[in-house]
Amino acid sequence: MAEIVGAGEALERALALLQGGDVVAIPTETVYGLAGDATNGIGVARIFEAKGRPRFNPLIAHVADMAMAERIALFDPLSKKLAIAFWPGPLTLVLPQRPGNGIHPLVTAGLDTIALRMPRGFGGDLIARLGRPLAAPSANSSGKISATTAQAVAADLGARIRLVVDGGATPVGLESTIVKAEAGRLRLLRPGGIAAEDIEAAVGMELLRGGGAGVEAPGMLASHYAPGAAVRLDARTVAEGEALLAFGNLRAAGWQRATAFRNLSETGDLREAATNLFAYMQDLDRSGARTIAVEPIPFDGLGEAINDRLSRAAAPRDNTQPTT
Ligand code: TXA
Ligand code: MG
Protein backbone atom coordinates (compact mmCIF):
# COMPACT_ATOMS: atom_id res chain seq x y z
CA MET A 1 0.00 0.00 0.00
CA ALA A 2 1.35 3.43 -0.91
CA GLU A 3 2.57 5.64 1.89
CA ILE A 4 1.18 9.20 1.95
CA VAL A 5 3.93 11.64 2.95
CA GLY A 6 3.59 15.42 3.30
CA ALA A 7 5.32 17.50 0.62
CA GLY A 8 7.56 19.04 3.31
CA GLU A 9 9.23 15.69 4.13
CA ALA A 10 8.89 13.76 0.87
CA LEU A 11 11.61 15.20 -1.38
CA GLU A 12 14.43 12.74 -0.57
CA ARG A 13 12.12 9.69 -0.63
CA ALA A 14 10.67 10.75 -3.98
CA LEU A 15 14.15 11.37 -5.41
CA ALA A 16 15.40 7.94 -4.36
CA LEU A 17 12.41 6.17 -5.92
CA LEU A 18 12.75 8.09 -9.20
CA GLN A 19 16.49 7.47 -9.36
CA GLY A 20 15.74 3.77 -8.92
CA GLY A 21 13.39 3.79 -11.93
CA ASP A 22 10.21 3.74 -9.84
CA VAL A 23 7.15 6.00 -9.99
CA VAL A 24 5.84 8.54 -7.46
CA ALA A 25 2.50 10.35 -7.29
CA ILE A 26 3.10 14.09 -6.90
CA PRO A 27 0.94 17.17 -6.51
CA THR A 28 0.96 19.78 -9.27
CA GLU A 29 -1.19 22.91 -9.44
CA THR A 30 -3.60 21.20 -11.89
CA VAL A 31 -4.13 17.58 -10.75
CA TYR A 32 -1.93 14.93 -9.13
CA GLY A 33 0.54 13.37 -11.56
CA LEU A 34 2.03 9.88 -11.64
CA ALA A 35 5.67 10.72 -12.29
CA GLY A 36 8.62 8.75 -13.62
CA ASP A 37 12.04 9.77 -14.98
CA ALA A 38 11.33 10.66 -18.63
CA THR A 39 14.79 9.43 -19.67
CA ASN A 40 14.37 5.99 -18.05
CA GLY A 41 12.30 3.49 -20.07
CA ILE A 42 11.59 1.25 -17.09
CA GLY A 43 10.25 4.18 -15.08
CA VAL A 44 8.04 5.24 -17.98
CA ALA A 45 6.75 1.70 -18.53
CA ARG A 46 5.85 1.51 -14.83
CA ILE A 47 3.63 4.58 -15.27
CA PHE A 48 1.54 2.80 -17.92
CA GLU A 49 1.51 -0.35 -15.83
CA ALA A 50 0.29 1.41 -12.68
CA LYS A 51 -2.42 3.29 -14.58
CA GLY A 52 -3.52 0.16 -16.41
CA ARG A 53 -3.54 2.19 -19.62
CA PRO A 54 -4.80 0.04 -22.49
CA ARG A 55 -2.79 2.20 -24.90
CA PHE A 56 0.49 4.05 -24.90
CA ASN A 57 -0.81 7.60 -25.18
CA PRO A 58 1.98 10.13 -25.28
CA LEU A 59 2.75 11.71 -21.90
CA ILE A 60 3.57 15.26 -20.84
CA ALA A 61 7.23 15.84 -19.92
CA HIS A 62 7.51 18.21 -16.95
CA VAL A 63 10.51 20.54 -16.67
CA ALA A 64 12.02 22.69 -13.93
CA ASP A 65 13.12 25.68 -15.98
CA MET A 66 13.43 27.16 -19.46
CA ALA A 67 16.96 25.82 -19.97
CA MET A 68 15.73 22.24 -19.45
CA ALA A 69 12.78 22.89 -21.77
CA GLU A 70 15.08 24.15 -24.54
CA ARG A 71 17.35 21.12 -24.23
CA ILE A 72 14.31 18.94 -24.97
CA ALA A 73 12.32 20.87 -27.59
CA LEU A 74 12.59 23.52 -30.29
CA PHE A 75 10.60 26.65 -29.53
CA ASP A 76 8.99 28.81 -32.23
CA PRO A 77 8.46 32.48 -31.27
CA LEU A 78 4.75 32.05 -30.38
CA SER A 79 5.36 29.07 -28.11
CA LYS A 80 8.23 30.92 -26.46
CA LYS A 81 5.96 33.86 -25.79
CA LEU A 82 3.37 31.57 -24.15
CA ALA A 83 6.02 29.84 -22.04
CA ILE A 84 7.27 33.20 -20.77
CA ALA A 85 3.72 34.38 -20.05
CA PHE A 86 2.31 31.26 -18.37
CA TRP A 87 5.14 29.07 -16.99
CA PRO A 88 5.24 27.79 -14.36
CA GLY A 89 1.52 27.09 -14.70
CA PRO A 90 -1.28 24.99 -16.19
CA LEU A 91 -0.17 25.30 -19.82
CA THR A 92 1.24 22.45 -21.93
CA LEU A 93 2.99 23.20 -25.23
CA VAL A 94 3.37 20.60 -27.99
CA LEU A 95 6.69 21.24 -29.73
CA PRO A 96 9.12 19.51 -32.10
CA GLN A 97 11.67 17.43 -30.19
CA ARG A 98 15.31 18.42 -30.25
CA PRO A 99 17.21 15.42 -31.66
CA GLY A 100 19.28 13.55 -29.08
CA ASN A 101 17.36 15.02 -26.13
CA GLY A 102 17.52 11.76 -24.16
CA ILE A 103 13.73 11.49 -23.75
CA HIS A 104 12.69 7.85 -23.86
CA PRO A 105 10.51 7.19 -26.96
CA LEU A 106 7.80 5.59 -24.80
CA VAL A 107 7.10 9.08 -23.38
CA THR A 108 6.16 10.43 -26.80
CA ALA A 109 4.75 7.17 -28.23
CA GLY A 110 7.39 7.44 -30.92
CA LEU A 111 6.17 10.85 -32.17
CA ASP A 112 8.64 13.54 -33.19
CA THR A 113 6.77 16.12 -31.10
CA ILE A 114 6.68 16.36 -27.30
CA ALA A 115 4.21 17.89 -24.84
CA LEU A 116 6.07 20.07 -22.27
CA ARG A 117 4.90 21.76 -19.11
CA MET A 118 6.60 23.55 -16.22
CA PRO A 119 4.61 22.85 -13.04
CA ARG A 120 4.50 25.00 -9.92
CA GLY A 121 5.44 23.87 -6.40
CA PHE A 122 6.65 20.45 -5.28
CA GLY A 123 6.90 19.04 -8.81
CA GLY A 124 9.16 21.87 -9.93
CA ASP A 125 11.45 21.46 -6.89
CA LEU A 126 11.64 17.70 -7.42
CA ILE A 127 12.55 18.04 -11.13
CA ALA A 128 15.22 20.64 -10.32
CA ARG A 129 16.80 18.28 -7.75
CA LEU A 130 16.59 15.26 -10.05
CA GLY A 131 18.07 17.31 -12.89
CA ARG A 132 15.96 15.40 -15.40
CA PRO A 133 12.43 15.87 -16.76
CA LEU A 134 9.53 13.87 -15.30
CA ALA A 135 6.97 12.16 -17.49
CA ALA A 136 3.61 12.33 -15.74
CA PRO A 137 0.05 11.63 -16.78
CA SER A 138 -2.76 12.36 -14.34
CA ALA A 139 -2.54 10.02 -11.34
CA ASN A 140 -5.69 7.99 -11.90
CA SER A 141 -6.28 4.55 -13.30
CA SER A 142 -7.28 4.45 -16.93
CA GLY A 143 -10.87 5.53 -17.50
CA LYS A 144 -11.26 7.24 -14.12
CA ILE A 145 -11.28 10.96 -13.48
CA SER A 146 -8.12 12.78 -12.47
CA ALA A 147 -7.27 12.88 -8.76
CA THR A 148 -7.05 16.24 -6.99
CA THR A 149 -6.11 14.99 -3.51
CA ALA A 150 -3.47 12.58 -2.22
CA GLN A 151 -6.24 10.49 -0.64
CA ALA A 152 -7.99 10.07 -3.98
CA VAL A 153 -4.70 8.95 -5.57
CA ALA A 154 -4.06 6.44 -2.78
CA ALA A 155 -7.62 5.05 -2.96
CA ASP A 156 -7.26 4.47 -6.70
CA LEU A 157 -3.59 3.54 -7.26
CA GLY A 158 -2.42 2.81 -3.70
CA ALA A 159 -1.99 -0.92 -4.25
CA ARG A 160 0.25 -0.35 -7.28
CA ILE A 161 2.61 2.44 -6.18
CA ARG A 162 4.81 3.07 -3.15
CA LEU A 163 4.58 6.81 -2.46
CA VAL A 164 1.98 9.54 -2.74
CA VAL A 165 3.32 13.01 -1.96
CA ASP A 166 0.62 15.00 -0.21
CA GLY A 167 0.50 18.67 -1.24
CA GLY A 168 -3.14 19.14 -0.24
CA ALA A 169 -5.96 19.71 -2.70
CA THR A 170 -4.65 20.91 -6.07
CA PRO A 171 -5.49 24.60 -6.59
CA VAL A 172 -6.57 24.37 -10.25
CA GLY A 173 -8.24 20.95 -10.12
CA LEU A 174 -8.42 20.64 -13.88
CA GLU A 175 -5.74 19.37 -16.26
CA SER A 176 -3.53 21.81 -18.14
CA THR A 177 -4.57 23.52 -21.36
CA ILE A 178 -2.72 21.97 -24.31
CA VAL A 179 -1.68 24.17 -27.25
CA LYS A 180 0.31 23.41 -30.38
CA ALA A 181 1.86 25.90 -32.79
CA GLU A 182 1.08 25.21 -36.45
CA ALA A 183 2.53 27.37 -39.22
CA GLY A 184 2.37 30.65 -37.33
CA ARG A 185 -0.97 29.88 -35.65
CA LEU A 186 -1.85 28.16 -32.37
CA ARG A 187 -4.25 25.25 -32.06
CA LEU A 188 -6.11 24.39 -28.85
CA LEU A 189 -5.73 20.61 -28.45
CA ARG A 190 -7.31 20.36 -24.98
CA PRO A 191 -9.11 23.03 -23.00
CA GLY A 192 -7.88 23.12 -19.40
CA GLY A 193 -6.64 25.15 -16.47
CA ILE A 194 -5.85 28.31 -18.44
CA ALA A 195 -8.78 29.82 -20.31
CA ALA A 196 -8.38 29.96 -24.09
CA GLU A 197 -9.25 33.67 -23.96
CA ASP A 198 -6.29 34.36 -21.68
CA ILE A 199 -3.99 32.67 -24.18
CA GLU A 200 -5.58 34.60 -27.03
CA ALA A 201 -5.07 37.84 -25.13
CA ALA A 202 -1.40 37.04 -24.50
CA VAL A 203 -0.60 36.43 -28.18
CA GLY A 204 -3.17 38.77 -29.74
CA MET A 205 -4.68 36.13 -32.03
CA GLU A 206 -7.50 33.62 -32.02
CA LEU A 207 -6.77 29.96 -31.33
CA LEU A 208 -7.60 27.36 -33.96
CA ARG A 209 -9.93 24.70 -32.58
CA GLY A 210 -10.84 21.13 -33.40
CA GLY A 211 -9.37 18.89 -36.08
CA GLY A 212 -5.71 19.41 -36.68
CA ALA A 213 -2.96 16.86 -36.48
CA GLY A 214 -2.85 16.60 -32.69
CA VAL A 215 -5.25 15.21 -30.12
CA GLU A 216 -8.97 15.27 -30.87
CA ALA A 217 -9.97 14.86 -27.24
CA PRO A 218 -8.03 14.16 -24.05
CA GLY A 219 -6.19 10.92 -24.54
CA MET A 220 -7.12 10.61 -28.21
CA LEU A 221 -4.27 10.99 -30.61
CA ALA A 222 -5.02 10.90 -34.32
CA SER A 223 -1.47 10.56 -35.58
CA HIS A 224 0.26 7.37 -34.57
CA TYR A 225 3.72 6.16 -35.28
CA ALA A 226 3.46 4.27 -38.56
CA PRO A 227 6.68 2.73 -39.86
CA GLY A 228 7.52 2.87 -43.57
CA ALA A 229 7.70 -0.93 -43.65
CA ALA A 230 4.57 -3.06 -43.58
CA VAL A 231 3.96 -4.78 -40.23
CA ARG A 232 2.85 -8.41 -39.96
CA LEU A 233 1.64 -9.53 -36.53
CA ASP A 234 1.58 -12.92 -34.83
CA ALA A 235 4.34 -14.19 -37.10
CA ARG A 236 5.19 -17.89 -36.62
CA THR A 237 7.53 -17.94 -39.62
CA VAL A 238 9.83 -15.41 -41.26
CA ALA A 239 9.66 -14.88 -45.04
CA GLU A 240 12.42 -13.75 -47.40
CA GLY A 241 13.18 -10.03 -47.04
CA GLU A 242 11.48 -9.60 -43.67
CA ALA A 243 12.94 -8.10 -40.51
CA LEU A 244 11.98 -9.80 -37.24
CA LEU A 245 10.74 -8.21 -34.04
CA ALA A 246 11.06 -11.05 -31.57
CA PHE A 247 9.73 -11.63 -28.06
CA GLY A 248 10.91 -14.18 -25.50
CA ASN A 249 13.13 -17.19 -26.19
CA LEU A 250 11.04 -19.21 -28.69
CA ARG A 251 11.96 -18.14 -32.26
CA ALA A 252 9.68 -18.04 -35.28
CA ALA A 253 10.59 -20.65 -37.92
CA GLY A 254 13.17 -19.39 -40.40
CA TRP A 255 14.29 -16.57 -38.09
CA GLN A 256 17.84 -16.91 -39.47
CA ARG A 257 16.49 -15.44 -42.74
CA ALA A 258 15.52 -12.16 -41.06
CA THR A 259 17.27 -9.18 -42.68
CA ALA A 260 17.37 -7.41 -39.30
CA PHE A 261 16.59 -8.60 -35.79
CA ARG A 262 15.59 -7.13 -32.44
CA ASN A 263 14.23 -8.95 -29.38
CA LEU A 264 11.85 -6.88 -27.23
CA SER A 265 12.70 -9.02 -24.20
CA GLU A 266 14.65 -12.25 -24.19
CA THR A 267 13.21 -13.19 -20.81
CA GLY A 268 9.63 -12.44 -21.90
CA ASP A 269 9.33 -9.43 -19.56
CA LEU A 270 6.50 -7.21 -20.83
CA ARG A 271 7.78 -4.15 -18.98
CA GLU A 272 11.15 -4.45 -20.68
CA ALA A 273 9.35 -5.06 -23.99
CA ALA A 274 7.34 -1.85 -23.56
CA THR A 275 10.47 0.21 -23.00
CA ASN A 276 12.06 -1.23 -26.15
CA LEU A 277 9.02 -1.17 -28.43
CA PHE A 278 9.26 2.21 -30.17
CA ALA A 279 13.03 2.28 -30.46
CA TYR A 280 13.19 -1.26 -31.91
CA MET A 281 10.38 -0.62 -34.40
CA GLN A 282 12.33 2.42 -35.56
CA ASP A 283 15.58 0.43 -35.81
CA LEU A 284 13.95 -2.29 -37.92
CA ASP A 285 12.20 0.30 -40.08
CA ARG A 286 15.51 2.07 -40.70
CA SER A 287 17.05 -1.25 -41.78
CA GLY A 288 15.08 -0.87 -45.01
CA ALA A 289 13.16 -4.17 -44.73
CA ARG A 290 9.89 -4.17 -46.70
CA THR A 291 8.04 -5.96 -43.87
CA ILE A 292 8.54 -6.25 -40.13
CA ALA A 293 7.32 -9.62 -38.88
CA VAL A 294 6.35 -9.52 -35.19
CA GLU A 295 6.31 -12.63 -33.03
CA PRO A 296 3.20 -13.26 -30.88
CA ILE A 297 3.11 -11.17 -27.71
CA PRO A 298 0.85 -12.10 -24.78
CA PHE A 299 -2.05 -9.79 -23.92
CA ASP A 300 -1.67 -9.71 -20.14
CA GLY A 301 -0.35 -6.67 -18.22
CA LEU A 302 1.43 -4.20 -20.50
CA GLY A 303 0.96 -6.72 -23.33
CA GLU A 304 -2.44 -5.21 -24.09
CA ALA A 305 -0.92 -1.78 -24.72
CA ILE A 306 1.95 -3.29 -26.72
CA ASN A 307 -0.49 -5.22 -28.90
CA ASP A 308 -2.72 -2.16 -29.30
CA ARG A 309 0.21 -0.10 -30.53
CA LEU A 310 1.46 -2.85 -32.85
CA SER A 311 -1.96 -3.37 -34.39
CA ARG A 312 -2.13 0.37 -35.15
CA ALA A 313 1.26 0.14 -36.83
CA ALA A 314 -0.01 -2.86 -38.82
CA ALA A 315 -3.33 -1.27 -39.86
CA PRO A 316 -3.91 -0.68 -43.61
CA ARG A 317 -2.16 2.55 -44.60
CA ASP A 318 -4.85 4.05 -46.84
CA ASN A 319 -7.04 4.94 -43.84
CA THR A 320 -4.16 6.00 -41.63
CA GLN A 321 -3.82 9.71 -41.00
CA PRO A 322 -0.48 11.18 -41.99
CA THR A 323 1.83 11.67 -39.02
CA THR A 324 3.21 15.16 -38.46
O1 TXA B 1 -2.40 19.03 -15.90
C2 TXA B 1 -1.98 18.12 -16.61
O3 TXA B 1 -1.77 18.26 -17.81
C4 TXA B 1 -1.68 16.79 -15.91
C5 TXA B 1 -0.57 17.05 -14.89
C6 TXA B 1 -0.15 15.81 -14.17
O7 TXA B 1 0.54 17.64 -15.56
N8 TXA B 1 -1.31 15.79 -16.83
C9 TXA B 1 -2.21 15.20 -17.71
O10 TXA B 1 -1.64 14.18 -18.48
O11 TXA B 1 -3.37 15.52 -17.84
P12 TXA B 1 -2.49 13.13 -19.31
O13 TXA B 1 -1.51 12.06 -19.74
O14 TXA B 1 -3.67 12.65 -18.55
O15 TXA B 1 -2.91 13.93 -20.60
C16 TXA B 1 -1.91 14.36 -21.52
C17 TXA B 1 -2.52 14.69 -22.85
C18 TXA B 1 -3.08 13.47 -23.57
O19 TXA B 1 -4.38 13.77 -24.05
C20 TXA B 1 -2.11 13.26 -24.71
O21 TXA B 1 -2.71 12.67 -25.83
C22 TXA B 1 -1.61 14.67 -24.98
O23 TXA B 1 -1.49 15.22 -23.69
N24 TXA B 1 -0.29 14.70 -25.63
C25 TXA B 1 0.89 14.29 -25.12
N26 TXA B 1 1.90 14.41 -26.02
C27 TXA B 1 1.34 14.89 -27.15
C28 TXA B 1 1.84 15.23 -28.45
N29 TXA B 1 3.14 15.08 -28.77
N30 TXA B 1 0.98 15.73 -29.36
C31 TXA B 1 -0.33 15.89 -29.04
N32 TXA B 1 -0.87 15.59 -27.84
C33 TXA B 1 -0.05 15.08 -26.90
MG1 MG C 1 -5.52 11.99 -17.78
CA 11 to ligand 1 center in whole angstroms: 24
Nearest atom in ligand 1 to the alpha carbon of residue 139 is 6
CA 196 to ligand 2 center in whole angstroms: 19
Ion ligand 2: residue ranges with CB closer than 5 A: 138
Model pLDDT, residue 322: 37
What is the number of the ligand closest to the CA of 145? 2
Pocket test for ligand 1, best of 48, 60, 141 (most atoms within 8 A of CB): 60
Model pLDDT, residue 193: 87
Strand partners, 35: 24
Neighbours of 9 (CB within 10 A): 10
CA 84 to ligand 2 center in whole angstroms: 25
Tell whether the torsion through CA atoms of 138, 141, 145 and 147 is positive or negative: negative
Omega before 316 within 30 of 0, i.e. cis: no
CA 115 to ligand 1 center in whole angstroms: 7
Tell whether the torsion through CA atoms of 291, 292, 293 and 297 is positive or negative: negative
CA 114 to ligand 1 center in whole angstroms: 10
Model pLDDT, residue 218: 33
Query: What are 78-120's pLDDT values in tens digits?
Result: 999 999 999 999 999 999 999 999 999 999 988 999 999 999 9
Q: How far is CA 17 from CA 13, 43, 114, 220, in A?
A: 6, 10, 24, 30
What is the number of the ligand closest to the CA of 120? 1
Model pLDDT, residue 317: 64
Packing angle, helices 11-19 and 122-130, rounded to 10 = 50
Query: What are 303-321's pLDDT values in tens digits?
Result: 877 887 788 788 776 544 4
Ligand 1, residues at Cβ distance < 6 Å: 28, 30-31, 33, 57-60, 90, 92, 94, 108, 111, 113-115, 117, 136-138, 175-176, 178, 189-190, 214-215, 218-219, 221
Model pLDDT, residue 308: 77
Nearest atom in ligand 1 to the alpha carbon of residue 32 is 6
What length is written for the chain?
A: 324
Q: pLDDT tens, position by position, for the chain (324 residues)?
A: 999 999 999 999 999 999 999 999 999 999 999 999 999 999 999 999 999 876 788 999 999 999 999 999 999 999 999 999 999 999 999 999 999 999 999 999 889 999 999 999 999 999 999 999 999 999 998 877 889 899 999 999 999 999 999 999 998 888 999 999 998 999 999 888 898 889 999 999 999 987 654 443 333 343 345 678 999 999 999 999 999 999 999 999 999 999 999 999 999 998 888 878 877 888 899 899 999 999 999 988 788 778 877 887 887 765 444 332
Atom 21 of ligand 1: nearest residue by CA position:
219
Nearest atom in ligand 1 to the alpha carbon of residue 193 is 1
Beta strands at 33-37 and 24-26: parallel, antiparallel or unpaired: antiparallel
CA 91 to ligand 2 center in whole angstroms: 14
Model pLDDT, residue 35: 98
Q: Across all residues in the chain, what is the average pLDDT?
A: 89
Model pLDDT, residue 178: 95
